[in-house]
Every structure is written in structure tokens, then in C-alpha cells.
Amino acid sequence: MARRKKIYEGKAKIMYEGPEPGTLVQYFKDDATAFNAQKRATLEGKGVLNNRISEFIMTQLNRIGVPTHFIRRLNMREQLVREVEIIPVEVICRNVAAGTICKRLGLEEGEPLPRSIVEFCYKNDALQDPLVAEEHITAFNWATTQEIDDIISLTLRINDFMSGMFAAVGIRLIDFKLEFGRLYEGDMVRTVLADEISPDSCRLWDIETNEKMDKDRFRRDLGNVTEAYAEVARRLGIMREGPRAANDETLQ
Ligand code: 5GP
């Protein structure tokens, strides 16, 4: 069988040409990176877990009317997605102070924020994804004012939905990162959710114990990273088994 053409390789995923025009195959790797790829590791089974968790969340979001690039999961590590033009802005939504907002504003980790805050970072590894204002986004034509309005309202809907979904299984949604893309349909362009939503891109704490169940376990050397991701999957009802199931590539 002919090897599929690689379109793009990122730190945790690879995009391949899809089976039909306008589609791509998103492959989830086991690679983990942090601090602008200065820290690297391979975490066996992480890609399988993120593929499943992201499939689950994107499917639920599609159901409540949030447009996403997700079409369907193909196998343990791959999903079929619509090809979109990625808007070069990372959208961060925060409910509780953690990570860079603590350093930037001198907040205590775990302090609830007065309201949910949406931030934008310019997607640029060489510049370490700097925080930017809407002014920068429109001035440099990274996105239009209309696209920013759409992105903010979709992000807040996603936040409401995911906060409830995770709270129902004993998890606090502290913050998360989203990416959006432009989907071209004839003369129309739609802003849709792209990339992934997984413990790599969210902060998730156990409601009772505040134990971290996300990529901070890797960033801060807390250990049991894939075990924590598997617990998120288990609580969401995606995987009945423990982390061993995530490593079993024969499972579909
Ligand atoms: P912070 O700005 O505090 O580092 O991150 C805020 C939230 O966005 C966290 O949930 C973090 O995991 C996520 N995030 C920020 N930048 C990135 C990124 O480049 N990649 C991924 N996967 N997540 C990110």
C-alpha cells in the first residue's frame, strides 16, 4: 500500500493527506514535550488515550452544535478530520489561576478567577507563543474581528459544556487551550474548532484531592502521566480498563 503523504509534523501529532479531498488524517504520537520542546519524552500509550479523549469531547461538542474539524476516529491512533486553514492563534480559557497567569499576575495557583478569562497567544515556537491582544491579531491580519467574536463565543460555550462534563465525573476544569481553523465550503468560510482537546491541552484536577490529571504531571515530573490520562478516560466512560488497555494497539 502506498504510504500516505505527510502534510505536517508537530510535537505530538502528524497530519497526513486524507482519503478524499478536503480531509486529513490526524495521527497522535506518544511524544511529549514541554517548555518549548526543551523537555522531551515518549509516554507509551499517551497518543492512544488522547485520540480517544479528543474523539469523545469533539463528538459531544458536535452534538451540541459547536462546529469542529472532527469527522470520525479511524483506529487507535488516527482520526479523520476536515482540512482547515489554521488560525495562528492559541486560545486559552481559564477558570482557576494556574500556569503562566500566576507568574504574570502574581496569583496563587488554585485561586478561582472572578470570571472565565479568554486569552490569545500568537502561535510561533521561535517566539514561545507570546500573549497578544486582539489589536495585534487584527492589525497583523491573523484573524478578523468577526472571527475573534466567533472564537470567543465558541470558546465560552465549550468552557461551559466541558466544565459541566468534567464536574460530573469529579474533575475540575482549571484551564485549556484551543485552536480554530477556517473551513472553506464553496463561497462560505466557517470558523471551526480544530486540533485536539485532551489532558495535553487542559489542566484537570481531581475535585476532591486537587490531584493533577494532566500534562503538568509531565512538566513537573510528578510521574504516572499516562495513568492519570487513563483515569480521565475511565471516568468519562471511554475506557473501562486501566492504562494497559491504552497500550494494547490491537484494540479498536
Ligand atoms: P499556560 O499559559 O498556563 O502555560 O497554559 C494554559 C493552558 O493552555 C494549559 O491547560 C496548557 O496545557 C494549555 N497550553 C498552553 N500552551 C499550550 C501549547 O502550546 N500546547 C498545548 N498542548 N497546550 C498548551
CATH number, domain with residue 56: 3.30.200.20
CATH number, domain with residue 96: 3.30.470.20
Is 0.85 topped by the overall pTM?
A: yes
The answer to whether residue 128 sits within a structural domain is: yes
Low-confidence residues of the chain: pLDDT under 50? 243, 249-252
The answer to whether residue 214 sits within a structural domain is: no
The answer to whether residue 202 sits within a structural domain is: yes
Q: State the Rg of the chain over Cα.
A: 18
Sign (positive or negative) of CA dihedral 150, 153, 157, 163: positive
Q: Is residue 132 located within the same domain as residue 150?
A: yes
Q: Which atom of ligand 1 is nearest to the CA of 12?
A: 22
Q: Is the CB of 179 under 6 A from ligand 1?
A: no
What confidence score (pLDDT) does residue 163 get? Answer: 98
Nearest CA to ligand 1 atom 8: 177
Q: Is the CB of 175 under 6 A from ligand 1?
A: yes
Q: Is the CB of 200 under 6 A from ligand 1?
A: yes
What confidence score (pLDDT) does residue 245 get? Answer: 52
Residue 201: partners with Cβ closer than 8 Å, 6 or more residues away: 176, 177, 178, 195, 215
Q: Is the CB of 195 under 6 A from ligand 1?
A: no
Written in H, E and C, the secondary structure of 121-169 is EECCHHHCCCEECHHHHHHCCCCCHHHHHHHHHHHHHHHHHHHHHHHCC
Number of domains present in the structure of the chain: 2
Nearest CA to ligand 1 atom 15: 177
The answer to whether residue 216 sits within a structural domain is: no
Nearest CA to ligand 1 atom 12: 201
- Measured in Å, residue 248 CA sits from the centre of ligand 1 at 28
The answer to whether residue 107 sits within a structural domain is: yes
The answer to whether residue 248 sits within a structural domain is: no
Q: Is residue 72 located within the same domain as residue 174?
A: no
pLDDT tens-place string over residues 8-22: 999 999 999 999 999
Q: Is residue 92 located within the same domain as residue 182?
A: yes
What confidence score (pLDDT) does residue 246 get? Answer: 52
Q: Is residue 78 located within the same domain as residue 89?
A: no
Q: Is the CB of 137 under 6 A from ligand 1?
A: no
For the chain, what percentages of helix, strand and coil (3-state, to nearest 5) are there?
30, 35, 35
pLDDT tens-place string over residues 90-147: 999 999 999 999 999 999 999 999 999 999 999 999 999 999 999 999 999 999 999 9
Look up the domain containing 170 and give its range: 85-206
Q: Is residue 202 located within the same domain as residue 97?
A: yes
Q: Is residue 147 located within the same domain as residue 34?
A: no
The answer to whether residue 219 sits within a structural domain is: no
The answer to whether residue 218 sits within a structural domain is: no
Nearest CA to ligand 1 atom 7: 176
Q: Is residue 47 located within the same domain as residue 99?
A: no
CA–CA distance, 113 with 123 (Å, rounded to integer): 25
Q: Is the CB of 100 under 6 A from ligand 1?
A: yes
CA–CA distance, 9 with 47 (Å, rounded to integer): 14
Q: Is the CB of 144 under 6 A from ligand 1?
A: no
Nearest CA to ligand 1 atom 3: 99
